[in-house]
Structure 1
């Protein structure tokens, strides 16, 4: 049966006195216990939907962590899918909206499993619990971004580094700005060429991110010294803080090979392996475990909303 309803949400979690807790919500309309979630709005990606719903329902502005299994179940309109992520609550205050959600409850995952009204909601919870046992629940994002669509090379006669974004690319850059706020990396590492700078600038300005440019990430420098560009990527693991790296299509294969060395084979198989590797403005998000230095434990590939 095809999917007719797409929704997204998250399981908020925290560790209190070395014990994992998750946050259940009560929805008066259905008189049920569930996770914060809601339907996809026009003009947003599925991760953006999850982050928005968490904010609207419980007032939590938190970055999405590792993806959790999606659940499927029948509804009046047909078949519904709900995509879930983990999201850590780091002392933020929870403020139910009072309409969609009238009560919340922190509890042990084992208790939450018995209280959930929809049995399907237990599956992402069990995945979250298993990740916690493996020390793979608390992570930071390392994001690789291909710059937005640029003007064609054939129509540009000046320096390659000055080739600007096309009109479509300018719109994509705004979509990238919204998408990256789902993970909210506060560091930006980018090629200095104009099309990369123009792609990442709206996001960097919106969150006041720290920006660092590296010539090694340009096409020309990478062609001459590919190890320099992979070295820039490798250095990002040292600081263990959220970061987005913006570069060009010819640089991507080497970066993905370098990333593959930081993850098990089942995850490296997810990394793009064929031309063009990423569409303009598309991202690969690598979730790096805080407790396992340099180890990627989850991978996502997401396109910004395309109007």
Structure 2
């Protein structure tokens, strides 16, 4: 008999500053009569960041923006008459706007904002306390940068026009649409891109959804970078903007140099893959890499 498939879930620690101290939001689940962190299972083909935001918002009624990772829980759950491994990914989550009114439901009937020390006592599971205890190490965030390689484009050998206008494939366009949901979960509010069509179209669905302009930079196109590799410093100088979440979309040959200039790890990016980096107030930079959504 084969082993049950791993259950993947996602959630977060929703936090706020109130009267000079940090509070976190806990949920009470009547089915289990427990106090826990908001979380839930991924939908089919759902990106883990999108799932984390959706589950937090469904369980708490609060709109949030995801910040740094807080780690992964690993434990077994009952499934189909047996047990299966479960992985739960957590992120710090800040309110995206004013606190919303909560309506109790069958899944969550009560919410409570508590100071961290009281939340540690209230939580029903030690594993949730372990996640909560990671919060101080990743806050406050000073600025965030998301570096993405454009989605899949028509192959060079199949394109007779200028390379700068080579378009996305249908699959690439679908990736760009899914990426829009990911960028929304991260709260991206500044958009910078190579001026190549394949980069611009990767970012366009999200730009349209928030009504923001895409700032185009020939210096991080393949041709611009080949002509003058040092020119990308003009983009890097604008990247770490305090209080902002900045997206930079570029190309495989450019990304290693761009990452190095940003102080990020240099590595390979598949089409549509991205890296999320947070610069903390103490000067540290922490990051996560993700495949294409």
Equivalent position to 1:83, from 84, 89, 111? 89
- The alpha carbon displacement at 1:29 in A equals 1.1
Q: CA deviation at 1:302?
A: 1.5
Question: What's the TM-score once normalised by structure 2's chain length?
Answer: 0.92
Aligned-residue offset at 1:198: 1.0
- 1:28 corresponding residue in structure 2: 30
In the aligned structure 2, how far is the partner of 1:123 from the partner of 1:59? 24
Unpaired runs of 5+ in structure 1?
261-267
- Cα offsets for 1:194-249 (capped at 9, x unmatched): 11111110111011123211111110110111111133123222454111111111
Q: Partners of 1:304 and 1:258 in 2: how far apart?
A: 23
Counterpart CA distance in 2 for 1:47 and 1:3 is 20
The range that moved more, 43-52 or 86-95, is 86-95
One of 117, 120, 124 as aligned partner of 1:113? 120
1:64 aligned counterpart, secondary structure? strand
**Alignment-derived partner of residue 60 in structure 1:** 62
- CA change 1:97–1:201 in 2 (3 A) is farther
> Is the CA contact 2:152–2:172 (under 8 Å) kept in the aligned structure 1?
yes
The answer for unaligned runs of 5 or more in structure 2 is none
Cα offset for 1:66?
A: 0.9
Q: CA deviation at 1:139?
A: 4.3
Q: Which aligned runs of 4 or more in structure 1 are off by greater than 4 angstroms?
A: none
- The answer to whether the 8 Å contact 2:143/2:241 transfers is no
Distance 1:6 1:187, change over 3 A: same
Cα root mean square deviation, aligned = 1.8
Contact persistence 1:272–1:278 (CA under 8 A): no
CA–CA distance in structure 1, aligned partners of residues 17 and 161 of structure 2:
55
- 1:171 aligned onto 2:159: no
1:242 is the counterpart of 2:245: yes
Identify the structure with the greater strand proportion. Answer: 2
**For 1:219 and 1:115, how far apart are their aligned partners in 2?**
54
Deviation, structure 1 residue 94: 4.8
Question: Could you tell me how far 1:49 is from its partner in structure 2?
Answer: 0.7
Alpha carbons of structure 1 residues 237 and 170: separation in structure 2 relative to 1, 3 Å:
same
Question: 1:3 offset after TM fit, Å?
Answer: 6.5
Q: CA deviation at 1:184?
A: 2.2
**Displacement, 1:42?**
0.6
Q: Which SS does the other structure have where 1:57 is aligned?
A: helix
Per-residue deviation at 1:296? 4.8
Once the two structures are TM-superposed, the CA of residue 69 in structure 1 deviates from its matched residue by 1.4
Alignment of 1:5 onto 2:7: yes
- Name the residue aligned to 1:278: 269
Tell me which of 37, 45, 61 is aligned to 2:47: 45
**Residue of structure 1 in register with 2:223 after alignment:** 220
